[in-house]
Structure 1
């Protein structure tokens, strides 16, 4: 069914349930989304330790120095008594009985004697003060950032339960593609790895296909992927076989055309085995518009991410008489600047753009659609 631009974007997202979760080494989870909360396996910190280089002290000063521990060394085997001090480095395990750590810059040392002013409890990191075993630290659904990986490592978590990156295979159709006279250089294939990575997918391959129903039908049936991107073959010409083949295969149409320019031929279907098929027009700017309209939201749903909210802007931009228009724009001090070169086969405008302005035909504010980076 043909939908408005915002409707198509939402429908593509809603049709894509998160993939079954997997457990992976924490280092392999970067950029994925948690399918289960991050739960502490150990105390953080693991032991009482010094927040400063200096002297662990017990009771009021002056103190008598009775030992020394550097970071990474075993802690003292005896407790500090009143009036005693223990030299420590930042992060070093504190001896039992420590009341405070006197920073080295605030200490006056004379042989085994140490003097200084200190408030009770200062510069001491207590065991478990940030996290305790079994405590939920990051909620399910959160994206695994480098900071989440750092926290997981600090609390002794070596594996994470995540929604995997959707596997994507691209089928690039068209006898017209090539460098020979009369052929058109393929501009979409080189962009696909970046588009898919930006949208959170894992591109498993790009397969060029000649025009013809037989090869495309075999690829639709036999390709192992969560989402198939088909470039070209999406219109109504004699070599445009995608829509008839999907109907023959009993695919359910989620989006079958979008009221936007360019990109009106964008589509999304669900096959009987739950694989998704996205139609991208063969013209490169139209293909990019279609990708951000239906493919990126579908991938967001598959990987368990939220649909990216779009900023609303007021700008004097050209409109189409009946359909939503997507225009490459650059932000400037004076507002949004339309860059031109925005026909379906063009790339010059979007190559210089910061975003796409989504301009409704009926007037009103525009939306800003981020571009793959």
Structure 2
């Protein structure tokens, strides 16, 4: 056990707690937002045939061109009934032109595609528009450049090109890309099941809190945030300040979940039952983190019937819990999904005085181009987080004039 890791060390330890969850195939339409469990490569060239990039005519040679029918019918000179596949089923003789639509199959022997607006049909013969005056427009002449307006097979991606790597979070663009490559389903990581246990007899879920009471800031928020990180919240339970009730809730949670997240009860007083329960029952990975807010965050493993389940115990103060969620919970979920950790960035900030410990505070970009902490950044406060664009890491050694701070993105 690492007694008090830095926030960076806590992220690495947290990631080591999360073993990848199983994978299963799903239809493409259900895979948006899921994590690819394997590398996927193109099975065919993209596009998989030479096709027209414009509506117009496949032409062979410099012209003028005799209009050649698409199928067995006589030439009509129009494009209204042009089917995509039959335009290229026969070679195109030299000196001929054949109607073709965008995406249509290019016939063998085609030198270029002449756009429809530059084509002049004169009784079964096709001429460049404007050549009655021996002065066709330059754009029309450009259409006769060999290969013009022809999308060659494989010009986007040859067969065998890597489309997505293992661990990629599949976006709508990925799904569309896989679809045109002929995939019907994709192997993805299952969403890790998460149970949330909120504690504290003083916490109420409705109405205006009275002195000595606080409103529940976690139940309305944590399931959605955990879902956005790729997890599947399965249960959210309120647990009273009773050790027997907490033990029973933990037993049920580890049996039903891949990850358990608790809130509150992580201090060191006799009333902080979560800390005592994890210390008594589990294998503690770390008992606190060298950061403010979020110092009393714990991580442990609790045994279930078949495995050990990671448990992250967040502090009861709302801002402290949200900071710990980003630093500890997110890396566990990323590891379970076999995703690469989110990259951190460095941003310019105003000078910061040294302090006793690293501070991770809500920050936003000011008009002068510098990042600054927001107002109201106490461990129990949420106003600053509501206005924030990220978490600024202010190191204990301080930041000099012209220096930079690490910026962690927020998981929403």
Both structures adopt the same fold (TM-score exceeding 0.5) = yes
CA separation of 1:221 and 1:154: change in aligned 2, threshold 3 A: same
- Choose the corresponding residue for 1:36, options 35, 38, 43: 38
What is the CA-CA distance between 1:228 and the residue it aligns to?
A: 0.9
In structure 2, the partner of 1:23 is 25
Alpha-carbon distance in structure 1 between the residues aligned to 2:66 and 2:189: 56
1:263 to 279, 294, 297: 294
Which whole-Å deviations, capped at 9, do the CAs of 1:270-290 have from their partners, x for residues lacking one?
233232111111111111111
**Structure 2 unaligned regions, length at least 5:** 71-78, 129-140
**Is 1:285 aligned to residue 287 of structure 2?**
no
Matches within 5 A, 1:29-68: 29-68=31-70
Distance 1:320 1:177 in 2: 36
Partner Cα distance (1:205, 1:27) in 2: 26
Q: Is residue 84 of structure 1 aligned with residue 96 of structure 2?
A: yes
1:363 counterpart SS class: coil
Residue 123 (structure 2) pairs with residue 108 (structure 1): no
Cα distance in 2, alignment partners of residues 31 and 332 from structure 1: 32
**In 2, Cα distance between equivalents of 1:240 and 1:199:** 28
1:157-200 per-residue CA deviation (whole Å, 9 max, x = no partner) reads 01112223322221111111114634211112222133213433
**CA offset at residue 317 of structure 1?**
5.7
1:162 aligns with one of 182, 188, 201: 188
More displaced 10-residue stretch of structure 1: 342-351 or 163-172: 163-172
> 2:279 maps to which residue?
247
Q: 1:54, CA displacement in angstroms?
A: 0.7
2:86 equivalent in structure 1: 75
1:119 and 2:158 are equivalent in the alignment: no
What TM-score, normalized by structure 2, do the two folds share?
Answer: 0.83
Residues 299-321 of structure 1 show CA distances to partners (whole Å, capped at 9, x for unaligned) of 11111122222222453465573
SS at 1:217's partner residue? helix
- 1:357 maps to what in 2? 392
Equivalent-residue separation in structure 2 for 1:43 and 1:4 (angstroms): 49
State whether structure 2 residue 205 is matched by structure 1 residue 205: no
Cα distance, 1:345 vs. partner?
A: 0.9
Distance change >3 Å, CA 297–CA 90, structure 1 → 2: same
> Partners of 2:277 and 2:309 in 1: how far apart?
15
1:134-283 matches, within 5 Å, as 134-178=160-204, 179=207, 181=210, 182-223=212-253, 224-249=256-281, 251-272=282-303, 273-283=307-317
- Provide Cα deviations, 1:63-114, integer angstroms capped at 9, x if missing partner: 1112247676431443221112111111122334333211123323223211
- The answer to whether structure 1 residue 331 and structure 2 residue 365 are counterparts is yes
Distance 1:7 1:71 in 2: 64
The answer as to whether partners of 1:40 and 1:157 remain within 8 angstroms in 2 is no
Equivalent-residue separation in structure 2 for 1:274 and 1:177 (angstroms): 30
Alpha-carbon RMSD across the aligned residues, in angstroms, is: 2.3
> Residue 194 of structure 2 contacts residue 231 of structure 2 at CA under 8 Å; is this kept in 1?
yes
Q: Show the counterpart of 2:156.
A: 130
Q: Distance in 2 between matches of 1:263 and 1:270?
A: 19
1:368 and 2:407 equivalent?
A: yes
Aligned-partner Cα distance in 1 for 2:326–2:280: 27
- Alpha-carbon distance in 2 for matches of 1:63, 1:346: 77
What is the CA–CA distance in structure 1 between the aligned matches of 2:49 and 2:82, rounded to whole Å?
A: 12
The answer to whether the 8 A contact 1:55-1:87 is kept is yes
Please give the TM-score of this superposition, normalised by the length of structure 1. Answer: 0.91
**How many aligned positions are there?**
372
The runs of 5 or more residues in structure 1 that have no matched partner are: none
Report what 1:340 is aligned to: 375
Contact map agreement 1:12 1:255 (CA 8 A) in 2: no
CA contact (8 A) 1:52 1:103 kept: yes
CA 1:337/1:321 → structure 2, altered by over 3 Å: closer, same or farther? closer
CA distance in 1, matches of 2:111, 2:321: 66
